[in-house]
Amino acid sequence: MFLIGQYDSPFVRRVAIALRLYGLAFEHRPWSTFGDADKIAPYNPLRRVPTLVLDGGEALIESTIILDYLDELVGEAKAMLPRSGAERRRHLRICALASGLGDKAVSLLYERVLRKEQLALWVERCSAQIADVLKVLEAERAKVTTPYWLGDRIGHADIAVACVVRFTREAHPQLFDAARYPALARHSERCEALAEFTEIVQPLAPPKG
């Protein structure tokens, strides 16, 4: 199977890191949604990433769907998300908040690099949403006394948060102050020190307007 997308996307990166942690072999096709849209289109008509193309040709789109498939593939004992119950819902909530943060951080980046004149109302709205989500995630992470949200074992919530924190810090350094979000900063540092994170990383390379 092969994964489409560049690793400066927090969504592509979280999928690739999960694949590595699960020990699943894959080919990486670092196609850009801007420069390589025509290559992506046959697999994903939305021309979005990540897209994971399975050995049989089936193309899975959106990181949540891809990770759900990977969890099913490796089995319940190895899956990085509880199978059911309140614990699963708690982790899915963290993943959803991280994904929403990533969406807003990407939108704000595009607003800056693709528009000659930024729409102030949109910039203010995205900035407020990013700040509010960071505040909630900081409070949630500060309550966890174990190395990861799942305890001693890394899970999808940990990966998602670490990936979007890195992206936000690189794309909008003025919006992430480690002194203001110490629990998130420590969490990010712990994850980024892992071999899978150091292997799967790419400096931010935003499109040019």
Exposure of 110 in the CB half-sphere (CA atoms within 13 A): 11
pLDDT band at residue 206 under the 50/70/90 scheme? confident
What was the pLDDT predicted at 141?
97
Provide the terminal-to-terminal Cα distance of the chain, rounded to the nearest Å: 33
- Give mean pLDDT, residues 2-17: 98
C-alpha distances out from residue 77 to 45, 71, 73, 102, 157, Å: 34, 9, 11, 29, 17
Q: pLDDT tens digits, residue range 32-58?
A: 999 999 999 999 999 999 999 999 999
pLDDT band at residue 116 under the 50/70/90 scheme? confident
pLDDT at 209 over 80: no
- What 3-state class would DSSP assign to 179? coil
Q: pLDDT tens digits, residue range 57-106?
A: 999 999 999 999 999 999 999 999 998 999 999 999 999 999 999 999 99
Asked if 158 and 150 count as a contact pair (C-beta separation under 8 A), the reply is: yes
Q: pLDDT tens digits, residue range 135-172?
A: 999 999 999 999 999 899 999 999 999 999 999 999 99
DSSP track, 51-103 = EEE-TTS-EEESHHHHHHHHHHHH-TTT-SS-SSHHHHHHHHHHHHHHHHHHH
